């Protein structure tokens, strides 16, 4: 574990290993341990992949102890990391996300298949047959980076990003899959769309998917998509 400054009011804790299920779980456990026993001046922490960003107020930490703020914070993180390891790693939820693949919802589905010598049905089968890990949430509020995309579907991002990607779009970018919570520009390949709303500012937590959660995709028809709870016609957006 390495702890390095991230500006003058944050540090980044980098764990050993790639962003796999075990490492992501360790990062999640460390974040939970820090939040459960905060030091004076602690603001928040954000786990992502194999790291945790810790934000703090150096003035408050300096006034609480004689050591320099960074050294005081590092000692506290190391102490809580030991406690997190002793307490075991949390188990994320398994959520099955409905997706309508192809057509107007997945304009890049056939192109992704062609890039790998696959038909559209084979791409769908590979994509929804895998189980994914939410290794990070970011880019836009609630956007899940999903680790676990089958290697045969690894596809470089589009050469020219779209200026408008509809909310709910399920996409492939490089070695990962993801879901756009809002209409936004984006450079990933769109292969389908979910009727689920991934971000609600009035919910606690506001992001539906959290780091450490596991995701499976369930293909649904266009008719089922239109009547699924959470679709805009149901007043969810």
Q: What is the pLDDT of residues 169-194, one digit of tens each?
A: 999 999 999 999 999 999 999 999 99
Query: How far lies 42's CA from each of 20, 45, 58, 127, 196, in Å?
Result: 27, 9, 9, 40, 34
Give the pLDDT of residue 19. Answer: 64
**Mean pLDDT to the nearest integer, 151-171:** 97
pLDDT: which is higher, 161 or 203: 161
Q: Which pTM was predicted?
A: 0.83
Confirm if 206 and 200 have CB atoms less than 8 A apart: yes
What string of DSSP letters covers 5-23?
A: E-TTSEEEEE-SS-SSHHH
Cβ contact 11:74 at 8 Å: yes
Give the tens place of pLDDT for each residue, 72-109: 899 999 998 887 765 555 667 899 999 999 999 999 99
What domains does the chain contain, in order, with CATH numbers? 2-86 (3.30.1360.40), 94-234 (2.40.100.10)
* Long-range contacts of residues 196-201, Cβ cutoff 8 Å, at least 24 apart: 196/97, 196/98, 196/168, 196/228, 196/230, 197/168, 197/230, 197/236, 197/237, 198/142, 198/143, 198/144, 198/168, 199/141, 199/142
The answer to whether 130 and 213 are in contact (CB under 8 A) is no
């Amino acid at each position: 574990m390495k702890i390095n400054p991230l500006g003058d009011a944050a540090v980044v804790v980098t764990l050993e290993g790639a962003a796999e299920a075990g490492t992501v779980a360790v990062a999640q456990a460390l974040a939970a341990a820090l939040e459960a026993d905060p030091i004076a001046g602690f603001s928040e922490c954000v786990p992502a992949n194999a790291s945790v960003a810790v934000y703090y107020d150096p003035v408050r930490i300096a006034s609480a102890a004689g050591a320099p703020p960074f050294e005081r914070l590092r000692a506290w993180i190391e102490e809580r990391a030991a406690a997190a390891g002793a307490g075991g790693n949390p188990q994320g939820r398994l959520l099955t996300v409905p997706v309508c693949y192809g057509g107007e919802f997945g304009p890049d589905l056939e192109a992704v298949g062609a890039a790998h010598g696959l038909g559209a049905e084979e791409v769908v089968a590979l994509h929804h047959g895998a189980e994914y890990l939410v290794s990070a949430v970011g880019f836009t509020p609630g956007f899940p980076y999903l680790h676990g995309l089958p290697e045969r579907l690894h596809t470089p991002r589009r050469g020219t990003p779209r200026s408008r990607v509809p909310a709910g779009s399920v996409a492939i970018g490089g070695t990962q899959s993801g879901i756009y919570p809002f209409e936004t520009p984006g450079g990933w390949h769109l292969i389908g769309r979910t009727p689920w709303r991934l971000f609600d500012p009035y919910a606690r937590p506001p992001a539906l998917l959290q780091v450490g959660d596991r995701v499976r995709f369930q293909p649904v028809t266009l008719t089922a998509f239109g009547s699924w709870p959470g679709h805009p016609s149901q007043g969810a957006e």
